[in-house]
Amino acid sequence: MASLPTSPLTEEQYLAIERLAETKSEFHEGRMFAMSGGTMNHSLLSVSIVALLHRLVPVTCRTFNSDMRIKVAEAGSTLTLIAR
């Protein structure tokens, strides 16, 4: 398994690496951070919570699982969804 780069990356470089990677990572301030995989119990709990939220949130809100890649411009701003 290759190690993650340590020098600052551009967003484009990160996306190119992430699309080929077997494991998930997070991108923050030019750096990639490996993300751990979830357990079966974590997955079951997440699905249950999303099912509950889906019925409770306003129609203008959406819930996603952890497979969705998102881009947050800054704290408190809207999201940009990036297709995998």
* SS3 of residue 22 by DSSP: coil
| pTM summary value | 0.54
C-alpha 29: how far from chain center: 15
- Residue 13's pLDDT is 92
- Residue 34's pLDDT is 86
pLDDT one-digit tens code per residue, 40-77: 898 898 888 888 888 888 888 777 777 777 777 666 65
Give the start-end residues of each E strand in the chain: 25-28, 31-34, 69-72, 79-82
- Residue 17 CA to residue 25 CA, distance in Å, equals 10
- Residue 65 CA to residue 57 CA, distance in Å, equals 15
Asked if the model's pLDDT at residue 7 lies above 70, the reply is: yes
